[in-house]
Structure 1
Amino acid sequence: MSNWLLPESLADVLPAEARRIEELRRYLLDLYRTYGFELVAPPLAEYLESLQAVSGSKLNLRTTKVVDQLSGRTMGIRADITPQVARIDAHLLNRNTVTRLCYCGSVLHARPEGLLSDRELLQIGAEIFGYAGVEADIEIIHLALASVAKVGVKNPRLDLNLPAIGHAIIQMDPLLVPYTDTIFDLLSAKDIPGLRALQSSIPNSQEQSIQALLILCSLYGEANQVIAKARQVLPTSASITHALDQLQSLVDSLDIPALTVDLADMGGSSSYHTGVVFCVYADGWHDALVRGGRYDGVGKLYGRDRPATGFSMDLRKLSAGLAEAKPVRAIRAPWGTDAALQDTLKRLRESGEIVIQMLPDQSPVADEFLIDRELVCEQGQWQVRTIA
């Protein structure tokens, strides 16, 4: 095997794409600052006990393990930044007020999530801690939609769900409870044969509960219609009614045209969500572009029980679905060290121009830049001239 061949599902990012990803990062972090979010930067690796404090999370299986050469303890390379930000809020900042935090950094998955997924993501997100009301969920959802609009995503679609409905159905049959994670995966994939096969593998499981789970797979579409139908076809219980009331209240509070509900979508890749979850979809991406939701109680694992809600997205995935990055305009300048030329180069660059000073015998070819002007000396003055 060639020594330069990268591991499976890992890839280099080349100049034009890397530049656009960095621009997206700047645009979004600047946007979050205008909403009052403070930037934090957790470490790439932590002791495994800290990263896996989110008990039962699928993130445990996605975490790559390494040995710390200083302490001999096992460390994990983060697979999700959200729990780290919850740790910062609960353990380091230790505030009693509402805290808004944002972040951007690389994460590594031990295995790709799907056939078209990468193992390395550039995750960016925003989180609100310390407020349990629906107003925080509304702000986070609006910010998620503002994020994709900021970078030029056309006609995004917001999809909502409340996994408490699925939990309530599972709780109706104690035999199903140990299989909650598996059931949620099957529901999210709308894998009806998989649900029936699971029923066959659990003797004495209640037919009513399995049928209710199968019904969830068909409950998706326009928000108000889906909620109304769910009230008619799902089992009657106080917990299911309460969850549907919560979901209806959030729908009524959101003035968003393309708003749908999918009662089988249990939050995608994360298992720590405790309240409403949402996804943003758009043409050009095969999967959800943004995932988020409420995850109250995660901070308790780090010392303080704080309500929390937020979202995240992968900038590499976001960039891949946008129009191809175009070269940027640049100025070509000759090689030279005289003061007049150097002063002109400095002035142009400080004004925001890209000026490439050609080394002796250098070819002006560069995929990242469109060299449409040149710096020439006319009558003792350096001038920018358009290249014919």
Structure 2
Amino acid sequence: MIHDSIINPEKIVTLPIGFRDILSPHADAEAKMIDVIMSIAISHGYMRVKPTLVEFENTLFNGPGLAISEQVFRLIDPISQHMIGLRADMTTQAARIASTIMIDAPRPVRLCYAGEVLLTTTNQLNPERELVQIGAELIGNSTADADAEVILLAIESLHTVGVKSISLDIMIPALVPLVLADMRLPAEIFSAVRQAINQKDIATVERLANSKSSVLVGLLKAFGPCEEAMRALSELELPDKARDFLVRPAEVIKLITNFEPNLSITVDPAENRGFEYHTGIAFSLFARGGRNEIGRGGRYQSDKDPKSTATGFTIYLERVLQILPKHQQTPTVYIPYGTPREQSMALRTRGQITIAGLTPVVDNYAEAKRMGCKSILLNGQTIDLSQY
């Protein structure tokens, strides 16, 4: 077992930026959290899949995968001589599985997964380039009930692993593009307005869009608690196509509050950064009082087939572990050389962790402490080492 006294900082190998070795007990906590969340998803009928770590570019970048192409490590396959990529997101892989080898499975298809993804770049909010992605996808159903199901599943998963207070932020990524398209702004102004919206810069939006800015400013100001935000959106003079996108969020919010009446829900209708490939509502999950999202998801089109509409979520395991109480390592019991195996087996059956001595030593107590154990098994009795 790993304890601080045996870690030598002078021997730590320099790894590429964004990569690190993960030791116990953090690695233990990761594995346990994955098991818990996957078990919850499976209990809801989601089938666990394990997509390949690498794919040819033409499949990896298909559909929503194109939106993350710049995050993918690329290399040449020495056998086929074709370009392949190391996955940066397992969402697109689950969608590919559903639309190919599981094409004949009855819809909706429910899939869940957990595994490492690799990113080419990093930023201040996401310093890691090797992440564990945990998620679930519901593919082949376009209803509000499907949207609500994946959100509630994500919330249930977070509650179960110990996140107490969760808030939900709902976005409508298609709303701003539809409003901008209706305005028919010149190309040079269009890009500047889009950037100002992303930065929530109301003054710049008003200056650039002039008389056409009122709706855009209204979208930016509509951010807030779900009831107030939806009321403000309903009062805006939106194009018909954009107004149609207000129906689904209202339906989903109602379904969610029926099951989670105390959940804090906000609506941010102008936010779409990171949700570019989403075609319906999108969402972020936060721990109450936290600044960084601990999960996100939403509706997207997995391929060109209209029946391939999908919705899903991703939980950021590292961020969840950061806000939970530090994982306590189970104390270990030292088993001196020559101890009957059935005695140590009895301890392991009760959930204890044993470390067996492999050679005779003069002082078993000293050896147990050297190995970082908290107790020792002698003559069938477990003895606490704190008194020695």
Do Structure 1 and Structure 2 share a fold, with TM-score over 0.5? yes
Instruction: Give the TM bin, normalised by the shorter chain.
Output: 0.7 to 0.9
Q: Which residue of 2 aligns with 1:357?
A: 356
Offset from partner CA, 1:98-146 (integer Å, 9 cap, x none): 2110000111111114444311110000111111111111111110110
Sort the Cα spacing of 1:185 and 1:374 in 2 relative to 1 into closer, same or farther, 3 A.
Answer: farther
Q: Which piece of structure 1 moves more, 184-193 or 72-81? A: 184-193
Q: Which piece of structure 1 moves more, 186-195 or 157-166? A: 186-195
Aligned: 1:383 with 2:388: no
Sort the Cα spacing of 1:42 and 1:155 in 2 relative to 1 into closer, same or farther, 3 A.
Answer: same
CA distance in 2, matches of 1:273, 1:138: 16
Aligned: 1:225 with 2:234: no
Residue of 312, 315, 319 corresponding to 1:313: 315
CA distance in 1, matches of 2:320, 2:194: 26
CA distance in 2, matches of 1:92, 1:178: 45
Sort the Cα spacing of 1:154 and 1:182 in 2 relative to 1 into closer, same or farther, 3 A.
Answer: farther
Q: RMSD of aligned C-alpha atoms?
A: 2.8
Offset from partner CA, 1:233-260 (integer Å, 9 cap, x none): x333212322222222222222133111
CA distance in 2, matches of 1:135, 1:159: 18
The answer on whether the counterparts of 1:90 and 1:305 sit within 8 Å (CA) in structure 2 is no
Residue of 46, 49, 53 corresponding to 1:37: 46
Matches within 5 A, 1:6-17: 6-17=15-26
CA distance in 2, matches of 1:133, 1:87: 21
CA apart distance, 1:55? 6.1
Offset from partner CA, 1:313-361 (integer Å, 9 cap, x none): 221222122222222132221122x6xx112222322343211123446
After the TM superposition, list the runs of 4 or more consecutive aligned residues in structure 1 that deviate by more than 6 angstroms. 176-185
Residue of 27, 47, 64 corresponding to 2:56: 47
The answer on whether the counterparts of 2:333 and 2:376 sit within 8 Å (CA) in structure 1 is yes
CA distance in 1, matches of 2:292, 2:278: 19
Q: Which residue of 2 aligns with 1:260?
A: 266
Aligned: 1:298 with 2:298: no
Sort the Cα spacing of 1:229 and 1:366 in 2 relative to 1 into closer, same or farther, 3 A.
Answer: farther
Q: Which residue of 2 aligns with 1:348?
A: 347
The answer on whether the counterparts of 2:229 and 2:267 sit within 8 Å (CA) in structure 1 is yes
CA distance in 1, matches of 2:281, 2:132: 24
Aligned: 1:111 with 2:121: yes
Q: Secondary structure at the match of 1:253?
A: helix
Q: Which amino acid aligns with 1:213?
A: L
Q: Which residue of 1 aligns with 2:136?
A: 126
Q: Count residues in correspondence.
A: 365
CA distance in 1, matches of 2:170, 2:139: 20
Q: Which amino acid aligns with 1:355?
A: T
CA apart distance, 1:195? 5.5
Q: Secondary structure at the match of 1:152?
A: coil
Q: Secondary structure at the match of 1:217?
A: helix
The answer on whether the counterparts of 1:51 and 1:76 sit within 8 Å (CA) in structure 2 is yes
Sort the Cα spacing of 1:177 and 1:312 in 2 relative to 1 into closer, same or farther, 3 A.
Answer: farther
Aligned: 1:250 with 2:252: yes
Sort the Cα spacing of 1:176 and 1:280 in 2 relative to 1 into closer, same or farther, 3 A.
Answer: farther
Sort the Cα spacing of 1:69 and 1:180 in 2 relative to 1 into closer, same or farther, 3 A.
Answer: farther
Q: Secondary structure at the match of 1:335?
A: coil
Residue of 161, 170, 181 corresponding to 1:160: 170
Sort the Cα spacing of 1:96 and 1:264 in 2 relative to 1 into closer, same or farther, 3 A.
Answer: same
Sort the Cα spacing of 1:208 and 1:248 in 2 relative to 1 into closer, same or farther, 3 A.
Answer: farther
Q: Which amino acid aligns with 1:220?
A: F
Q: Which residue of 1 aligns with 2:96?
A: 87
CA distance in 2, matches of 1:329, 1:194: 59
Q: Which amino acid aligns with 2:26?
A: E
The answer on whether the counterparts of 1:127 and 1:309 sit within 8 Å (CA) in structure 2 is yes
CA distance in 1, matches of 2:98, 2:30: 27
Sort the Cα spacing of 1:211 and 1:44 in 2 relative to 1 into closer, same or farther, 3 A.
Answer: farther
| Structure 2 runs not aligned, ≥5 long | 1-10, 362-366
TM-score (norm 1): 0.85
The answer on whether the counterparts of 1:192 and 1:217 sit within 8 Å (CA) in structure 2 is yes
Q: Which residue of 2 aligns with 1:203?
A: none
| Structure 1 runs not aligned, ≥5 long | 200-205
The answer on whether the counterparts of 1:161 and 1:277 sit within 8 Å (CA) in structure 2 is yes
Q: Secondary structure at the match of 2:241?
A: helix
Sort the Cα spacing of 1:363 and 1:97 in 2 relative to 1 into closer, same or farther, 3 A.
Answer: same
Sort the Cα spacing of 1:209 and 1:11 in 2 relative to 1 into closer, same or farther, 3 A.
Answer: farther
Aligned: 1:280 with 2:285: yes
CA apart distance, 1:36? 1.0
Sort the Cα spacing of 1:247 and 1:194 in 2 relative to 1 into closer, same or farther, 3 A.
Answer: same
TM-score (norm 2): 0.85
Matches within 5 A, 1:55-70: 57-70=66-79
CA distance in 2, matches of 1:99, 1:178: 43
Q: Which residue of 2 aligns with 1:202?
A: none
Q: Percent identity?
A: 27
Sort the Cα spacing of 1:89 and 1:366 in 2 relative to 1 into closer, same or farther, 3 A.
Answer: farther
